Amino acid sequence: MKKVIYILGILAAAVALNSCVGDLNVTPIDPNTNTVDKALTTQQALDSYIAGVYLGLATSGYYGPNGNPSISGLDGGASQYIRGLYHVNELTTDESVCGWNDQTIKNFHYMNWTTDDTFIYAFYSRIFMVVSAANEFIREVKNLNFDAALQSRYIDEARVLRAIAYYHAIDCFGNVPFSDETAQVGITPTQMKRADLFEWLETELKSIISDGSLPGKNNVTYGHVSLGTAQFLLAKLYLNAEVYTGTARWNDCANVLKDLMAAGYSLHTTSSGDFNAYQELFLADNHKCTDEIIFSVEQDGLYTQSYGVTNYIIFASTGGEMDPSQLGISSGWGGLRTTPQFYDKFVSNDARNLFYTATQVKDIDDIGEFSNGYAFMKFRNVASDGEIPNRVYDEANDTWNNPGFVNTDFPMMRYADVLLMAAECQARGASIDGLSAFNQVRARAGLPAVSALSLDEILDERGRELYQECWRRSDLIRFGKFTSGYNWQWKGEVKEGKDVESYRTLFPIPDSDRLANSNLEQNPGY
């Protein structure tokens, strides 16, 4: 029944998506036997239906990690949403390189991508698939004869998920095709300017927050969006307002942060097992860290399998002489490492200094050689008590085999980020106590307090606290250090790094979508 309901939602969503991003391979369900009004008669059914929207962030499709991916023509694993988010927001920065020869993957770090890049198209497609799935959910649920309060809550959940996708669209692509639940299915969408999308997102999120239908921190079901999720996203929007619109909104950002800082969240500071408190946020049982984690994309090694999300982060960060069992996995893929410029931002006693250095060399002479560059050990498929979930006993060899998929959720939004945003707002002139917030983050890491805030130190602290969580690119852009003003190894495809074209603060609208939709103009420079 759950699979039927998932497909009902995605079926209609796919029709809308087809006009945005091209060819989809969908198999219709007989409308005489399975229609939305017949299926959506209970809260359990609505839970199953909206799960299809959440799964747009968590998996590649609805039949296993790479079976029948929801978007045809793309590898299900490489095109997964969070994996795509990592490609555009981490591989393009000092935080991460990938040494594989998969198509154009190295071009992200070289910063020489083109308008027909497959990985950019994949992430762009995932964004608008989530938008379309949310639109269809909202459209259908609005027409149900259901408990009004419950109906409003479900609709607002889908609106937040849609806002997350549109936030990534405005951040990465700027001017994008736009549609909401009022759009006629099958009509080619028009392109919305970046500043107009900012205004729409601001209005939408403020409306969701004022509705009061979403639960607060203590009442939300884990893995679902909450009031805090909407507030966090609005704060992020204001934080980057000057980039998106040309007008800074620091005080508006600070006001939203004050609400979040009074909502009951706190830093996770007490460890319960073999790891420090910071590490516990990135382990296989990080669903317990609801004190700090505001919203996670869930993964389960048995039931929510993906070759993206944290499965990608953990497996791809493991290789060479590393012991995969320390990461709680069966083997490594040997791809992701960091640059020496980023590693040098850490001191040895920083609790967040979670890198494998033993058999690695710090310098990256060859980006394709895994041993070049220190490797990440931040995310692990190990529980806080040291146990590895979902191990399988091999009776013939009397051994336990580690799993091929992880249980570690991806913490998309954390309270530590709220505190660091507060520090930045104060440093940029807003009225908020960001200094004490900043020092809370440093104290958890075992670092001394500072007496004053500087923008350079805030940017470095954001890097140390949030690496591999897909914020680095937008941070570097906001601080004016993405395309020029700061270089790292292999930026611009030279070992010492060099400045690149300023237009690369945005990615191109994929050629395939522009061919399908004559309403779309390319971003300047491409």
pLDDT in tens, 358-381: 999 999 999 999 999 999 999 999
* Any domain includes 293: no
Please give the Cα distance from 257 to 263 (Å, whole number).
10
Backbone angles phi, psi at 392, to 5 degrees: -115, 130
Whether residue 144 is contained in a domain is answered as yes
Helix (H, G, I), strand (E, B) or coil at 411: strand
Within-domain flag for 136: yes
Q: How many other CB atoms sit within 10 Å of the CB of residue 332?
A: 20
Locus of tokens 């409306």:
207
Is-contact 441 420, C-beta < 8 A? Answer: yes
pLDDT at 6: 40
- Which two tokens mark 267? 């830093």
Q: Residue 324: what pLDDT?
A: 96
The DSSP string of 41-101 is -SHHHHHHHHHHHHHHHH-SBSSSSSSSBSSTTS-TTTT-HHHHHHHHHTTTSSS-EE---
- Compute φ and ψ for 355, nearest 5 degrees: -125, 150
Distance of CA 301 to the CA centre of its chain: 19
What are the DSSP E strand ranges found in 87-175?
A: 97-98
Beta strands in 358-409 (DSSP E): 375-376, 392-394, 399-401
pLDDT of 35: 61
**Rounded to whole angstroms, how far apart are CA atoms 70 and 415?**
32
The answer to whether the predicted template modeling score (pTM) of the entire model surpasses 0.85 is: yes
Residue 88 CB: number of other CB atoms within 10 A?
23
Q: Specify the 3-state DSSP secondary structure of 479.
A: coil
Q: How far apart, in whole angstroms, are the C-alpha atoms of residue 131 and residue 251?
A: 29
- Would residue 200 count as lying in a domain? yes
Is the Cα torsion angle 520, 166, 296, 257 positive or negative in sign?
positive
What does the DSSP 8-state code read for residue 376? Answer: E
**Domain-located, residue 157:** yes
- Below-70 pLDDT ranges, the chain: 1-38, 63-64, 66-69, 72-74, 76
> Number of folded domains in the chain?
1
374 occurs within a structural domain: no
Q: Residue 98 domain-assigned?
A: no
For residues 72 and 246, what is the distance between their CA atoms, to the nearest angstrom? 37
Whole-number pLDDT of residue 15:
35
Alpha helices in 294-433 (DSSP H): 309-316, 324-327, 340-343, 415-427
- Is the separation of the CB atoms in 4 and 11 below 8 Å? no
- Residue linked to tokens 């690149």: 500
Flag whether 43 is in a domain: yes
CATH number reported for the structural domain that contains residue 161 in this entry: 1.25.40.390
Range of the structural domain that residue 60 is part of: 2-73+112-214+508-516
Which helix (H) or strand (E) element contains residue 512?
helix 511-516
Of 57, 85, 122, which Cα lies nearest the Cα of 472? 85
